[in-house]
Chains A and B, each alone.
Chain A
Amino acid sequence: MAQVSLRKLVKEYEGGVQAVKGIDLDIEDEEFVVLVGPSGCGKSTTLRMIAGLEEITSGEIAIGGDVVNDIPPRDRDIAMVFQNYALYPHMSVYDNISFGLKLRGFTREEIKRRVDNAARILGIGELLERKPKALSGGQRQRVAMGRAIVRDPKVFLFDEPLSNLDAKLRVQMRTEIKQVHQTVRTTTVYVTHDQVEAMTLADRVVVMNHGVIEQVGPPNELYRNPATIFVAGFIGSPAMNMIPARLEQAGGGGLMVQLGEGLSVPVPEERTARYAPHANRDLLFGIRPEHLTEATRIDKQNLAPLTVKLDVIEPMGMETLVHFHIDGTSVCGRVDPAAGAEAGVRMALAAHMEHMHLIDKGSGKVL
């Protein structure tokens, strides 16, 4: 059990390409932290540097308070689960799981005890004699986790462990990973490009882009209060709508967001002071699809009516996604399936303005 801390961590490849550009991160003991971002954002490189599989160009990595920059992977007391499982094909499941223990000179009884314990946690007791080729994708992933668990390391590292699984199994394994973490409580760093995985698994999510950390925080915090346009767009599916808009003074000291096509919505009173310095500027108006609902749900404050012509509707069962355009920008809303949304027909929607965001186009910062 241990904390992991990254200080000004830089990875520069030959030719001067910087994959990781000086990131700082503190991961608490027993915490489950997910690094998420698009491919090439530096998340896997960061994980591999923690593992010791990638050399550090500059900066410092400490595990459990000890700087491990120059310590080889085997002495860092970490365990890693790979995307393609990386099981040893010529060994049985038992040998795969116990390989690390054997190399470290554990007694036969201790190895058996630990393997049996890991097999029990993961429900792979019957598979111990099989070779990896005789296992399904989900079983292989469990074995790979077993290999990590038996070592009882300071830190678990997961490198996109669910990417090779089909959608259904991915959801199931996601739950299992969370259960395993709740059982063994080992500090975990998990890399994924899937924001749903990040949201569901993490105690804290680290959103990375272009080698820097955009934002760190608990999943709901990131969802509700994204710090940058990138986080706002990356977290949440369907993505947050970002509509070019102009913030203008309205009568009585209020503010209005002009969306184009003559549409405008009022800024809630409690936000007026925050946004006042940005009045009369061109900004992006950000609002999540679930905060653009049918107008019949108007039973709360801060709902602004918005009547638009729907282009496409997508019934999802529990809700219906409606797509329309405002001044050429595609916008998505979520309405009740019973609300009678129909393509090509005008519909009265309501924007839940207490969930609005205003984004500075230049800096990409959420105001």
Chain B
Amino acid sequence: MAEAAVANRDYPRVYGKVGSLHRERAWALRWAYVSLILASIIFLAPPFYMLVTSIKTNVEMADQSLNPWIVRNPTLEHYWAILSNPIFLTFFKNSIIVTILVVSVTMVISVLAAFALSRMRFWGSQVLATGVFLTYLVPDTLLFIPLYQIVGGLGLLNSIWGLVLVYPTLTVPFCTWIMIGYFASIPKELDEAALIDGATWPQMLTKIFIPVALPGIIAATIFAFTVSWAAFVYPTAFITRPDQMPLTIGIVSQLVRGDTFAWGQIMSGALIAALPPVVVYVFLMDYYIAGLTAGATKG
């Protein structure tokens, strides 16, 4: 009886515990919202400022008495100026060509490399896998001088082909690393089942690994795309001819004349340049998340 009484007395306390768990969760949520809103403000302020500036007239921009965050007479003149300038379209075209080629080259190399390094156990494969990652740790600001020599030696300075050659040195190691991790999460029995079912190694890669690791491949693709689209140091170093420039340095080199900054066009150009990554993110993220929720790696 005494025991029963004790048990009864404990009952409300058990409920209290549940309640406090609920309260803790509510607080955690509140903190999460506050931090997320703060982070959003910090990260969205620059693009917002770019947008505001890009639709201001030059007169309004120069007037220091006005609030810089507010637009009085919105205009699209800077966008027209940019889009009707053939050299800007050339920058755009160069960026697209370089990015598509770099992403393709990167994904082919890194998927094959990761498959070999993670699945075909061979002498030195572990060391190689680590080595691949270590090369990623060398910053491009250190590499561009020796690479300049190499690209120059190959006669590819002032050509987008020079960029197609050097960008993979940035993208391949990291993408390979991502893919090694992803392939490693695929149960070994899956390849063994495929081997017994009669698959060759290439068939195993194309019919099992690539479909199953699609979320990882998309993540790596997004990374390669971002690096290649936003690269700045290498094109600055290797390209001086406007017709070979990608967007990132084209905008800066053509719209900044001495100490004269064409702010409206710089901002509208930068916003237009930022559009493709946003589109790619939105499009691929859907696939990425769909891939994750499909439990693709669960046997």
Determine whether the beta carbon of B193 is less than 8 Å from that of A74. no
Whether B299 contacts A86 by the Cβ 8 Å rule is: yes
Digit string of B190-212 for contact with A (CB within 8 Å is 1, else 0)? 10111111111001000110011
Q: Are A86 and B195 in contact (CB under 8 A)?
A: no
Q: Which residues of B contact A133 (CB under 8 A)?
A: 294-295, 298
A37 within 8 Å of B by Cβ? Answer: no
Which of B195, B200, B298 is in CB contact (< 8 Å) with A89? B298
Supposing A82-B192, A84-B189 touch, asked if A89 and B197 sit within 8 A by C-beta, the answer is no
**Are B196 and A73 in contact, CB atoms less than 8 angstroms apart?**
yes
- CB of B131 closer than 8 Å to a CB of A: no
A84-106 vs B, Cβ < 8 Å mask (1 yes, 0 no): 11111110000000011001100
Cβ-defined contact, B199 with A103, below 8 A = yes
Q: Within 8 Å CB of A151, what residues of B?
A: 197
CA distance A257 to B65 in the complex (A): 111
Distance in Å: Cβ of A141 to nearest Cβ of chain B: 12
Q: How far is the CA of A132 from the CA of B295 in the complex (A)?
A: 10
**Does A103 lie within 8 Å of B192, measured CB to CB?**
no
> A90 and B211: CB pair below 8 A?
yes
Q: Give CA–CA (A74, B199) in the complex, Å.
A: 7
The interface residues of chain A lying within 8 Å CB-to-CB of B189 are 82-86
Q: B297 an interface residue at 8 Å Cβ cutoff?
A: yes
| With A53-B192, A80-B192, A84-B187 as contacts: A89 and B299 at CB distance below 8 Å | yes
A103/B197 contact (C-beta < 8 A), A89-B296, A89-B299 known: yes
Q: What residues of chain A lie closer than 8 Å to B208, measured between beta carbons? A: 88
Q: How far apart sit A79 and B196, CA to CA, in the bound complex (Å)?
A: 6
Shortest distance from the beta carbon of A63 to any chain B beta carbon, whole Å? 13
B198 to chain A: which residues have CB within 8 Å? 74, 100, 103-104
- What residues of chain B have their CB less than 8 Å away from a CB belonging to chain A? 187, 189-190, 192-200, 203, 207-208, 211-212, 214, 294-299
Contact assessment for A88 and B212 in the assembled complex, using a CB-CB cutoff below 8 Å: yes
Q: How many Å from the CB of A315 to the closest CB on chain B?
A: 26
A73-B195 contact in complex given A86-B187, A86-B190, A88-B190, C-beta closer than 8 Å? yes
Asked if B212 contacts A132 (CB within 8 A), the reply is no
Complex contacts, B299 vs chain A, CB 8 Å: 84-87, 89, 132
Contact B196 A80 (CB under 8 A): yes
Among A79, A84, A147, residue most surrounded by chain B Cβ atoms (within 10 Å):
A84
| A78 sits at the interface (CB 8 A) | yes
Interface of B: prevailing SS: helix
C-alpha gap A72/B192 in the complex (Å): 11
Bound CA–CA A99/B190 (angstroms)? 12
Q: Which residues of B sit under 8 angstroms from A84, Cβ to Cβ?
A: 187, 189, 299
A51 on interface, CB distance cutoff 8 Å: yes
**In the assembled complex, which residues on chain A have CB atoms less than 8 Å from the CB atom of B192?**
51, 53, 73, 80, 82, 86
* Complexed CA–CA distance, A34 and B194 (Å): 24
Do the beta carbons of A74 and B197 come within 8 Å of each other? yes
Q: Can you report 5 A-B residue pairs in the complex whose CB atoms are below 8 A from each other? A: A74-B197, A89-B294, A90-B211, A90-B214, A100-B197
A52, A88, A133 — most chain B CB neighbours (10 Å): A88
User: A131 CA to B194 CA in the complex, in Å?
Assistant: 17
Docked complex Cα distance between A72 and B195 (Å): 8
Tell me how far the C-beta of A195 lies from the nearest C-beta in chain B, rounded to whole angstroms: 24
- B187, B192, B195 — most chain A CB neighbours (10 Å): B192
CB distance from B296 to the nearest CB of A (A): 5
- When the two chains form their complex, are residues B193 and A89 in contact, meaning their CB atoms are under 8 A apart? no
Interface residues of A in 259-304 (CB under 8 A from B): none
Kindly provide the distance from the CB of A119 to the nearest chain B CB, expressed in whole angstroms: 17
CA distance A83 to B187 in the complex (A): 11
Q: How far is the CA of A78 from the CA of B195 in the complex (A)?
A: 11
Q: How far is the CA of A78 from the CA of B208 in the complex (A)?
A: 20
A residues near B203, Cβ cutoff 8 Å: 103
Give A75's nearest chain B residue, CB to CB. B198
Chain A residues closer than 8 Å to B298, beta-carbon distance: 89, 133
Which residues of B have CB within 8 Å of A87? 193, 299
Closest CB in chain B relative to A90 CB, distance in Å: 4
**Which of B189, B194, B199, B208 is most buried by chain A, counting CB atoms within 10 A of its CB?**
B189
Q: Contacts A84-B189, A86-B187; is A74 near B296 (CB within 8 Å)?
A: no
Smallest beta-carbon distance A131→chain B, Å: 8
Query: What is the CA–CA distance of A103 and B187 in the complex, to the nearest angstrom?
Result: 21
Query: Which residue of the partner chain B has the closest CB to A100?
Result: B197
> Inside 8 A of A132's CB, which chain B residues have their CB?
299
* A79 closest partner in B (C-beta): B196
In the assembled complex, which residues on chain A have CB atoms less than 8 Å from the CB atom of B214? 90
Residues of B near A52 (CB, < 8 A) are 195-196
Chain B min CB distance to A296 (Å): 40
CA distance A72 to B196 in the complex (A): 9
A sample of 15 more A-B contacts (CB under 8 A), given A74-B197, A99-B194, A103-B198, is: A53-B192, A74-B195, A84-B299, A85-B299, A86-B187, A86-B190, A88-B193, A88-B208, A89-B297, A90-B214, A99-B207, A133-B294, A133-B295, A147-B193, A147-B197
Known A-B contacts A80-B192, A82-B192; A90 and B197 likewise in contact (beta carbons under 8 Å): no
